[in-house]
Amino acid sequence: MPSLRRFRLEAPLRLESGFVLPQVEIAYRTWGRLSSAADNAVVVCHALTGSADVDDWWAPLFGPGRALDPERDFIVCANALGGCYGSTGPTSPGPDGLPWGGRFPAVTLRDQVLAQKQLVDALGIRRIRIVVGGSMGGLQALEWALLDPDRVETVAAIAASARHSAWALAWSEAQRQALAADPKYRDGHYDLADPP
């Protein structure tokens, strides 16, 4: 498995909300080699609870002769902003040097993709053969097609739709309430020495 790499955005990231994240780092992994034409990239967007370890959680799709083939493709998977796998998030230091915790701003799908686009630019990718993802990753794949249609050839959005139903929104709210009900939650300020 390739090691986790880190990319620091050159400038602060202005979120859709107007909040500005002063320093943003994206943790990511790559497999394969970018072609001389820089046109064999596959961007994989993970689900909410996933990570950049696409060769682990999508192992049946990963490998020679499979959908995600590192001998043919240059595969990129970035960890989500606000997640817990190395990209800037609640455990990262805020401007005051303390972990962001519950102060970490809400990050939209568009914010995620705008940060990923900066990574893709830095990697020198001119064309993306396909952006693929499931659930939250599928929603990001749709956003990629909207924000960068000239670079993205194909999108595979799995378990995702362009619009959430009231039922799906209610399930998401129930999940948020379950997290907030955890006594260790403390408004998002988990004790890092005593995690959930």
Residue 129 main-chain phi, psi, to 5 deg = -60, -40
Q: How far apart are the first and last CA of the chain?
A: 28
Report the CATH number at residue 150. 3.40.50.1820
Residues 6+ apart with CB under 8 A from 73: 31, 32, 40, 41, 42, 129
CA dist 171 and 1 (Å) reads 34
Are 77 and 171 members of one domain?
A: no
Total of domains in the chain: 2
CA dist 117 and 111 (Å) reads 10
Using one digit for the tens of pLDDT, what is the confidence trace for 10-36? 999 999 999 999 999 999 999 999 999
Are 168 and 133 members of one domain?
A: no
Are 113 and 195 members of one domain?
A: no
- Asked whether the predicted pLDDT for residue 42 surpasses 90, the reply is yes
**Which regions of 80-174 does DSSP assign to beta strands (E)?**
128-134, 155-158
Q: What is the pLDDT of residue 80?
A: 97
Q: Which residue has the higher pLDDT, 194 or 63?
A: 63
**What is the span of the domain harbouring residue 185?**
164-196
Q: Residue 77 has which token pair?
A: 């998977």
Residues 6+ apart with CB under 8 A from 146: none
Q: How many residues does the chain have?
A: 196
